[in-house]
Amino acid sequence: MNDSDSYGFLLPHDFDVTRLIDLLGGDEHCQLGETTHFSADYYDSFDWRLHAAGLRLLRVSSAQGNALHLRSAQGDDCTDPVAFDGEPAWPGDLPAGALKSRVSDLLAMRILLPVVRVSGTAIELRLLNHDAKTVVRLQLLTLQSESPGSQQHRALWPRLRLSTVRGYDAEWSALLSYLGEDMEWPKAPVCLFEEAITAVGLAAGDYSSKLDVPLRPELTALEALRQILLTLLETIERTVHGTRTNLDSEFLHDLRVATRRTRSAVSQVKRVLPEPVVEEFKQRFAWLGQITGPTRDLDVFLLELPHYRASLPAAMAGDLDALEEHLLAAHSSEQAKLKRKLASAEFKALMQDWRNILEAELPPGEPGWFADLPVERVASQRIWRMYKKVLNAGRAISPDGPPEEMHELRKDCKKLRYLIEFFRNIYPEKPLKGIIRTLKDLLDDLGEYQDKEVQADRLRAFAAEFDRDDPQSLRSVMAIGALVADLLRHQQQAHERFADCFARFDAPDNRKIYKELFKARGEGLG
């Protein structure tokens, strides 16, 4: 099956091959060929990374075998098809070659998931002239769409595909004119994918971990905050299944990011929600952050393990096998706990109670002072105040200051970044990109500083659990010791880069943008 419909028409649902043959001049002028059956399973990541790149990955199954195709949105093959009998999952498991490289670069740590299946029959026909010569080849397609795990099928529009035969351009053009102009059959879309997912109730690109809420400056702060929090709630709800089933670690990552953003929005956008609501849900979402933390920490270690091995001398790489076994056993245990907690009455109540609050006409309790003010004023005030706090904290850090200062600065930088991300659509895009970039660079440096310290501490704790009387365990302890030394070296390098990163953040041009974007807009709110 080819996904391209360069010369194709949509047919009425009740149209069959007998009517088509009659329409084209009967058996004398239209010869019936073989009928084949096929299916095409489309795959993408949960956050539609292939679709965003204008690509379609599909496994076509027919009598000729199974093959993976990577196609453009126009239906053209972007790489050579690859024979493949299995179920695509991790990009790294795909056969080596151009297809694997393209998909792996786009998906990174995301797993491939089945999106939709298109199956059907293809009936071959040949249009003959008076000399019984084939002048046009035709293919009548009867199609249906099915979502993964469902037994329900949705019929798609039948299609008629036409292929040219060399030397018969006039017959080809005449048939196109007859079908398109006289019969008024609509031209078929170039790709089956869009129609197929629509038929099963999906919308491509309907999920992204990137927060992008279309806000208008004149919205009230309460309504804007409600839209932001509902978007974050939807992200949490949509990532729960993937987290519970452990499809890939990015589901839990997205869930935790949405949880942190929710806590930040509730606590940092002050004087909008009623204070009792703020206090209650700060605590309840803190609980969600706590129960998801251990599994995520172990995810990070397992993801880092190949890098750990690569950082050691080749002779020591195998000494981390015991550590890997330890991490996998601990992850299995924590994942089981997390699965139970995400199925608990407490979690279900949190989701439902929070949705009830956000969808109510007014949240229960006395609204905050800023609830009815334009969101632009409230957002600008909050961003400006947090920016000043970050500036003052960063300027106070000395080269020999305690690590806690860097940790606290990172927390404040995260709050600032979240605030800017929440409200980015109400500010000019170009200057905002510049300040986000410098803030991200600073956060990356602070994150590496803290992450290396945390990883080093956790690895020391893991090493303490090994039996030092066992020779293999002792080798593992020594390998972990080498890792810890390497991590602390990278932490020191991050500390040394901090001054330059903060200087770019504190540069006059950057300060000017913050002042122009936020200070004047938020003045007068205290």
- DSSP annotation of 211 reads -
Cα 58 to Cα 39, 80, 100, 112, 140, distances in angstroms: 10, 13, 13, 11, 21
- Give 315-325 pLDDT, tens digit per residue: 888 899 989 99
pLDDT at residue 5, as a whole number: 37
**With 0-12 CB in 10 A as exposed, 13-18 as middle and 19+ as buried, what is 83?**
exposed
Q: Which amino acid is at 373?
A: L
Helix H or strand E segment including 186: none
Q: What is the pTM of this model?
A: 0.85
Ranges of residues in the chain whose predicted pLDDT is under 50: 1-5
Residue 130 tokens read as 């008076």
Question: Residue 470: what pLDDT?
Answer: 80
Cβ–Cβ under 8 Å, residues 120 and 38: yes
Taking a C-beta distance cutoff of 8 angstroms, is the pair 143, 159 a contact?
yes
Tokens of 139: 């293919």
In one-letter notation, the amino acid at residue 30 is C
pLDDT of residue 524: 64
Q: What is the pLDDT of residue 148?
A: 84
Report the SS3 class of residue 374.
strand
3-state secondary structure 386-452: HHHHHHHHHHHCCCCCCHHHHHHHHHHHHHHHHHHHHHHHHCCHHHHHHHHHHHHHHHHHHHHHHHH
Task: Give 77's DSSP letter.
Answer: B
Please state, in angstroms and as integers, the Cα–Cα distance from residue 120 to each residue in 68, 69, 92, 265, 434, following that order. 18, 18, 31, 49, 51
Distance CA(183)–CA(180), nearest Å, equals: 6
> What six digits make up the tokens of 193?
């994918």
Cα distance between residue 57 and residue 318, in whole Å = 36
**pLDDT confidence of residue 4:** 38
Contacts from 512-515 at CB under 8 Å and sequence distance 24+?
Answer: 513/431, 513/434, 513/435, 514/383, 514/384, 514/387, 514/435
65: left (phi over 0), alpha (psi -120 to 50) or beta: left
What is the distance between the alpha carbons of residues 139 and 159, in angstroms, rounded to a whole number?
A: 8
d(C-alpha 194, C-alpha 204), whole Å: 8
Q: Are strands 82-83 and 154-155 parallel, antiparallel or unpaired?
A: unpaired
pLDDT in tens, 147-173: 887 777 899 999 999 988 999 989 989
Residue 151 to residues 43, 145, 148, Cα–Cα distance (Å): 18, 10, 8
Distance (Å) of CA 300 to CA 194, 247, 413, 447: 36, 15, 22, 13
Domains and CATH numbers, the chain: 8-199 (2.40.320), 209-371 (1.40.20.10), 374-526 (1.40.20.10)
- pLDDT at residue 2, as a whole number: 44
